[in-house]
Structure 1
């Protein structure tokens, strides 16, 4: 089978672990590692890889996954499909922590197991990639660029399937404040909203998020601050809005703390970040709506 494997990387130490897990590949299999030294983004790196590849099938692997035993043998079976199938996704497994419930960041990674058309391990036919034009390099992060491509491939008339091969995706060590940084993805959501309209989540098979509630919480906080600056008769409004903000923030924090470990550091981090996430999410969304207003 004519297969090219493309691995985009930013130089993570996990790359060596991935290559070791792949083991010796058949001589006809092409392996391309694309190092994104200028941090142009994974969409750019994957486009560079598949456009340089020669395989009929192009398999994308993230540099932080570990292919399971017999991964290539199962890949060959997965790709024995009808000619109208444009992509076959592998299955992702995320190790759970031993002896405790997962943290917020660990639960985010565990959520990859149910994700649709993720490039952690997915094989595309070259004609399907060409028909869709490849990845949209306006997406600068490893976020939404894979769902966007999958939708355009389906829209071009190809079917997408799930295969049986597996990769393990360990939880990457991160700062306790990673949830604040990930709010930048709201700007990418704004691009999808501009491209595909209000039904973009349904079209791209993306679960509903919390941004609507974040907007209400942020509006209540802003309104409370504004009303507090008005004459005395408006103090009741300020108090009511402040209560709404506190209730919304408490609900959000509880939803994040309850399924996690009863660890004081984790609880404190969730409490602080639950205050900061709603305005950050809304701010990035609005910035994205402005940036992509003419997309």
Structure 2
């Protein structure tokens, strides 16, 4: 049996996903669908198409985020394979048929990732948010469409619920499953991940993910990005820019209250040098975000404002995450020879 687990916040995209799957039921005999309603404030029951009524379970989550919702789903599942889908993807017409082919893998394979496509607008350059979403297509082991053997999930205990956002929790799970001796491979089934509408200030909100990065740093040490197969980030640059801005502000403030003399002149030099460093770093960050975009007035203004705010915001969230994770013990990273050998 194959179990399909979909955590959802009840977005309209869920209906599109379910309608698409309903047309492929013939290729999913003995399958089950588990919807995990993870809304904090329930506003009514989830609408389930009649085609699914016979084998759909609707579970009530705790509003604790996708990691906890997926754990609730797979632990209630009966299938040997558990397929995680996000509620905003659209499976291709042959998704179910190719899924069955994808799962015909050797016993040591614990997970099979689907192919993700993110359509970008035609006729113009993508915005910063659209480019960020498009980056999901290159992600490794992301649970927008990821199938795991139930045995592999049991082996490692599932997702780490200390990660409350849809951010890194899937990469961290994949890392532990590989350490437990399972192989992960890419399959052929395909889903489309449309770019959902977002506020122009979404880049500020997603900086909260820096707190999760701090937890990963605590768990896996300085090389956590390499261990989890993640691309390098901009945090060192954000720290430098935020520090330069803080020094410039502090020096300017002290200079304003200090009387004439050498100290005041020195503080002026410090403020000027730090201010130039802050301006140069901020300008470089804004440039790399504006250049590939549509360069409309709204987009340029948004990039300028958020490029000023992101570095200090990222640092604040990192420090917050580091403080919360200060007593978390590091994971013992011990690779094993085969599936289940780490148990």
- Which of 41, 59, 63 matches 2:87? 63
Post-superposition offset of 1:27: 3.9
Post-superposition offset of 1:227: 1.3
Residues 202-241 of structure 1: pairs in structure 2 closer than 5 A: 202-228=226-252, 229-230=254-255, 231=258, 232-233=264-265, 234-241=267-274
Residues 4-83 of structure 1: pairs in structure 2 closer than 5 A: 4-23=3-22, 24-25=24-25, 26-38=28-40, 39-83=63-107
SS in 2 for 1:51: helix
Take 1:126 and 1:224, find their aligned partners in 2: how far apart are those partners?
A: 54
TM-score (norm 2): 0.85
Post-superposition offset of 1:22: 1.0
Post-superposition offset of 1:130: 0.5
- Matched residues, number: 294
In the alignment, which residue of structure 2 is the partner of 1:248?
281
Which stretches in structure 2 are left out of the alignment for 5+ residues? 41-62, 259-263, 329-343
Take 2:223 and 2:132, find their aligned partners in 1: how far apart are those partners?
A: 24
Take 1:96 and 1:149, find their aligned partners in 2: how far apart are those partners?
A: 29
SS in 1 for 2:112: strand
Residues 126-205 of structure 1: pairs in structure 2 closer than 5 A: 126-205=150-229
SS in 2 for 1:140: coil
In the alignment, which residue of structure 1 is the partner of 2:337?
none
Take 2:120 and 2:104, find their aligned partners in 1: how far apart are those partners?
A: 32
Deviations 1:184-232 (A, max 9, x none): 0000000000000001000000100001000000000000111112342
Runs of 4+ in 1 over 2 A off after TM superposition: none
SS in 2 for 1:276: helix
Q: Which of 1 and 2 has greater Rg? A: 2
TM-score (norm 1): 0.98
Deviations 1:5-42 (A, max 9, x none): 00000111100000011124234001111101332100
Take 2:148 and 2:72, find their aligned partners in 1: how far apart are those partners?
A: 15
SS in 2 for 1:32: strand
Take 2:158 and 2:204, find their aligned partners in 1: how far apart are those partners?
A: 30
Take 1:256 and 1:113, find their aligned partners in 2: how far apart are those partners?
A: 19
Deviations 1:116-140 (A, max 9, x none): 1000000000010001110000000
